[in-house]
Amino acid sequence: MASVDPSRSFVKDVKRVIIKVGTAVVSRQDGRLALGRVGALCEQVPNQRKVAMQVKELNSLGYEVILVTSGAVGVGRQRLRYRKLVNSSFADLQKPQMELDGKACAAVGQSGLMALYDMLFNQLDVSSSQLLVTDSDFENPKFREQLTETVESLLDLKVIPIFNENDAISTRKAPYEDSSGIFWDNDSLAGLLALELKADLLILLSDVDGLYSGPPSEPSSKIIHTYVKEKHQQEITFGDKSRVGRGGMTAKVKAAVLASNSGTPVVITSGFENRSILKVLQGEKIGTLFHKNASFWESSKDVSAREMAVAARDCSRRLQNLSSEERKKILLDVADALEANEDLIRSENEADVAAAQVAGYEKPLVARLTIKPGKIASLAKSIRTLANMEDPINQILKKTEVADDLVLEKTSCPLGVLLIVFESRPDALVQIASLAIRSGNGLLLKGGKEAIRSNTILHKVITDAIPRNVGEKLIGLVTTRDEIADLLKLDDVIDLVIPRGSNKLVSQIKASTKIPVLGHADGICHVYIDKSADMDMAKHIVMDAKIDYPAACNAMETLLVHKDLMKSPGLDDILVALKTEGVNIYGGPIAHKALGFPKAGSFHHEYSSMACTLEFVDDVQSAIDHIHRYGSAHTDCIVTTDDKVAETFLRRVDSAAVFHNASTRFSDGARFGLGAEVGISTGRIHARGPVGVEGLLTTRWILRGRGQVVNGDKDVAYTHKSLPLQ
């Protein structure tokens, strides 16, 4: 079973599952049945789920599914209101309308609700059955014995039992308020059935994602993934009860606690989310889990993740309070510590590389993983360069006299807490950590599992160099994949996420968080050789852009050539040189037909290896159009001696970095003089291109006055005069 959360590993042993469907799930805001939602639910129960890329039916996998449904009263009320409206005179409608009797609504609605289930299940070639029970039924031991026998028979026949409380004949005086008896609503009925029928799992579907620490509509409320009674019972604040049912979340929690304490795990999750039942059965960490052993487990990951983020923020504020020289000294100490521990770092990295090779990782990944000779010295040098740069925080960017003796300053300040998720490259950890220290930000780092030993030793070396008055928790190392999902939910604590890795990684993170994400998904960089190019220069640029570091995101992936150069000796020389170095060349439609190169599968492809695509274009505008259509807005280059053509290219190509007669490999924070980079952004908001210290800063306004008040602007003479920064 893929991607099973450790706390949900019990699902592998689940055979019998009870699913309770609340009124809010099966009905719309106006009380009518939500046909599409019920239909989607029915498809999940007996139909399919994805295991090892194969779709199998739950029944064929051995699951025994029992439904407990609400909604009869709502259906009946809707029908009776309509019938009453049809049979009423205009005068009757002017009179105050009495509330319909709940028992009558239940009697009328039950048949309609079951008819809907029967129709939907029949369309899926699945049989269903109806079982109506009341509280008093369970006082009879013979009834309970017969109920179990009947359900066992139905399940053996692959028939889905559908339970509902028979509200029409319930002895409770007010079935929506009276909570006495063996069970008091369909949530508690589901919990009771879980025990009576010895279910392995109970799923309570709700109209929210799970149990929250407070009303879900409040921004401060956070979902609780694992409920621990001793910890959460006093912390939770419940909001309003269900808009249409009788219990709401309070009833669900009570039923879940009782069932889980008796040995049946319970998950409260959203009935609105696509395939939510299947996700629970696959062990995904959705909703809120209630388990009898939860109190013995370690603190839930959402708490530890929050604590890590909060600690990083606290440390960052202490870092900001240091003087510029004190922050500079921390960086110099980090650089010294890296050099002093080079042998240990290299040893741990070699172990990672060896393990990656044994595991059969692709060569580009192994190349990115490797800390080559001289890399530590290079990193230490870049850190010292960063330390000696002008202090980036608390800089006055603009100074304005708003009014007499009222001065406004726009100043630079850290973003707060950064979450960086990166793959393979342990040297990225060093660059990012040094930038965080220089910019005064807290930092959480998650590297790839293939670099775990390298990242661990680098993190230790760096945090050991951070003084105690700041705290080593300034930089946290996330060690498990599970923690990432929890961290991505902390939009109130984490201020920016920067993913560095594959297209898949970046896309997954963007789809999983409300936190702003800065980065790029692809590095499809182009070199365009114009017809006026110096071909010797073009050769040097192309060779460097492709073979200097093929796995880098700024390496050339597509070579565009003016059509007039198709048969030129200069181009032949470039292509021979590429092939001599071991570069596999793939052709676009024109290059494939004219020169016989294997056809490229797609122009929008990042090889990250010794391979590239070749294609011919009509002119500079055609090259620009090609880049805009197939590129990733990362880095693109033109090689030409025609300044007018070069200027057209530089002004019109809408990429983060655009070069004239220079290798795409220059697109790098250190080479740009930024000291280091946390990544390269192809977005257009906040930062673009190589992101150094400036990209990790925001601004704040400081106003200095002498007791001025607005008072309707009666006594303020605004001057809005720019002042010197010094």
Q: How far apart are CA 134 and CA 147, in angstroms?
A: 12
Q: How far apart are CA 70 and CA 175, in angstroms?
A: 13
Over range 702-719, report the average pLDDT. Answer: 92
Q: Report the pLDDT value the prediction gives residue 177, as an integer from 0 to 100.
A: 45
Q: Report the pLDDT value the prediction gives residue 44, as an integer from 0 to 100.
A: 43
Minimum mean pLDDT range among 159-163, 178-182, 221-225, 632-636 = 178-182
Q: Report the pLDDT value the prediction gives residue 86, as an integer from 0 to 100.
A: 66
Is the confidence at residue 56, as pLDDT, over 70? Answer: no
Same domain, 251 and 266: yes
Over range 252-263, report the average pLDDT. Answer: 91
Same domain, 541 and 561: yes
Is the confidence at residue 654, as pLDDT, over 80? Answer: yes
Same domain, 377 and 492: yes
Q: Report the pLDDT value the prediction gives residue 590, as an integer from 0 to 100.
A: 97
Is the confidence at residue 242, as pLDDT, over 60? Answer: no
Same domain, 650 and 609: yes
State the alpha helices, DSSP H only, in 321-374: 324-340, 342-358, 363-369
Q: Report the pLDDT value the prediction gives residue 361, as an integer from 0 to 100.
A: 87
Minimum mean pLDDT range among 290-304, 496-510, 639-653, 699-713 = 290-304
Specify the residue for token string 């809707």.
78
Q: Tell me the sheet residues that pair with 268.
A: 204, 288
CA 462 to chain centre: 28
Minimum mean pLDDT range among 353-362, 569-578, 624-633 = 353-362
- Residue 561: CATH number of its domain: 3.40.309.10
458 assigned to some structural domain:
yes
Same domain, 154 and 247: yes
Domain end point (choices 278, 298, 318): 298
Q: What percent of the chain has pLDDT over 90?
A: 51
> In a 3-state reduction of DSSP, which class is residue 445?
strand
* Cα dist from 581 to 164, 605, 610, whole Å: 73, 21, 9
Q: What are phi and psi of 20, to 5 degrees?
A: -100, 125
Amino acid, res. 88? S
Rg (CA), the chain: 33
Is the confidence at residue 322, as pLDDT, over 50? Answer: yes
Is the confidence at residue 25, as pLDDT, over 50? Answer: no
Q: Report the pLDDT value the prediction gives residue 104, as an integer from 0 to 100.
A: 82
Is the confidence at residue 520, as pLDDT, over 80? Answer: no
Q: Report the pLDDT value the prediction gives residue 178, as an integer from 0 to 100.
A: 44
Is the confidence at residue 336, as pLDDT, over 60? Answer: yes
Contact 637, 657 (CB under 8 A): no
Q: Report the pLDDT value the prediction gives residue 172, as an integer from 0 to 100.
A: 61
Which band of pLDDT confidence, cut at 50, 70 and 90, is reported for residue 368? confident
Name residues whose C-beta falls within 8 Å of residue 48's C-beta, 6 or more positions apart in sequence.
55, 56, 57, 58, 278
Same domain, 459 and 576: no
Q: Report the pLDDT value the prediction gives residue 98, as an integer from 0 to 100.
A: 61
Over range 548-567, report the average pLDDT. Answer: 94
Same domain, 498 and 576: no
Q: Report the pLDDT value the prediction gives residue 313, as an integer from 0 to 100.
A: 95
| Structure-model confidence comparison of residues 720 and 506, the more confident one | 720
DSSP secondary structure code for residue 300 in this structure: P
Same domain, 230 and 89: yes
Structural domain for 595, as ranges? 525-677
CA 700 to chain centre: 28
Query: Mind listing the pLDDT tens digit for each residue in 433-479?
Result: 999 999 999 999 998 888 989 999 999 999 999 999 999 999 999 87
240 assigned to some structural domain:
yes
Query: Mind listing the pLDDT tens digit for each residue in 391-402?
Result: 999 999 999 999
- Residue 51: CATH number of its domain: 3.40.1160.10
Q: Report the pLDDT value the prediction gives residue 299, as an integer from 0 to 100.
A: 46
354 assigned to some structural domain:
yes
Is the confidence at residue 631, as pLDDT, over 90? Answer: yes
Nearest to 575 by CA among 616, 608, 605, 607: 616
Is the confidence at residue 381, as pLDDT, over 80? Answer: yes
288 assigned to some structural domain:
yes
| Structure-model confidence comparison of residues 676 and 607, the more confident one | 607
Same domain, 437 and 539: no
Q: Give the up-direction half-sphere exposure of residue 687: CA atoms within 13 A in the CB hemisphere.
A: 25
708 assigned to some structural domain:
no
Domain end point (choices 269, 298, 327): 298
Minimum mean pLDDT range among 66-80, 138-152, 403-417, 617-631 = 66-80
Same domain, 327 and 473: yes
Over range 95-99, report the average pLDDT. Answer: 63
Q: Report the pLDDT value the prediction gives residue 193, as an integer from 0 to 100.
A: 94
Same domain, 327 and 179: no
Which band of pLDDT confidence, cut at 50, 70 and 90, is reported for residue 645? very high
Is the confidence at residue 275, as pLDDT, over 80? Answer: no
516 assigned to some structural domain:
no
CA 9 to chain centre: 22
Q: Report the pLDDT value the prediction gives residue 674, as an integer from 0 to 100.
A: 81
Q: How many CB atoms lie within 10 A of CB 464?
A: 12
How many folded domains does the chain comprise? 3
Q: For the chain, what's the residue count?
A: 726
Q: Report the pLDDT value the prediction gives residue 48, as an integer from 0 to 100.
A: 28
Rank 171-180, 527-536, 704-713 by mean pLDDT and report only the highest.
527-536
Q: How far apart are CA 347 and CA 393, in angstroms?
A: 37
- Residue 465: CATH number of its domain: 3.40.605.10
Rank 35-44, 174-183, 270-279 by mean pLDDT and report only the highest.
270-279
688 assigned to some structural domain:
no
- Is the full-model pTM beyond 0.85? no
Is the confidence at residue 422, as pLDDT, over 60? Answer: yes
Minimum mean pLDDT range among 22-36, 104-118, 287-301 = 22-36
Same domain, 329 and 264: no
Domain end point (choices 511, 545, 577): 511
Minimum mean pLDDT range among 77-91, 251-265, 587-601 = 77-91
Q: Report the pLDDT value the prediction gives residue 552, as an integer from 0 to 100.
A: 87
Report the chain's mean pLDDT, rounded to a whole number.
Answer: 85
Q: What percent of the chain has pLDDT over 70?
A: 86
Which band of pLDDT confidence, cut at 50, 70 and 90, is reported for residue 557? very high
682 assigned to some structural domain:
no
Contact 596, 575 (CB under 8 A): no
Q: Print burial letters for 626-648: b (CB count within 10 Å at least 16), e (below 16).
A: bbeebbbbbbbbbbbeeeebbeb
Q: Report the pLDDT value the prediction gives residue 543, as an integer from 0 to 100.
A: 98
| Structure-model confidence comparison of residues 335 and 302, the more confident one | 335
Q: Report the pLDDT value the prediction gives residue 96, as an integer from 0 to 100.
A: 62
Q: Report the pLDDT value the prediction gives residue 173, as an integer from 0 to 100.
A: 55
| Structure-model confidence comparison of residues 12 and 461, the more confident one | 461
Which band of pLDDT confidence, cut at 50, 70 and 90, is reported for residue 176? very low
| Structure-model confidence comparison of residues 70 and 699, the more confident one | 699
Over range 144-150, report the average pLDDT. Answer: 95
Is the confidence at residue 127, as pLDDT, over 50? Answer: yes
Is the confidence at residue 333, as pLDDT, over 50? Answer: yes
Is the confidence at residue 34, as pLDDT, over 80? Answer: no
Q: How many CB atoms lie within 10 A of CB 584?
A: 13
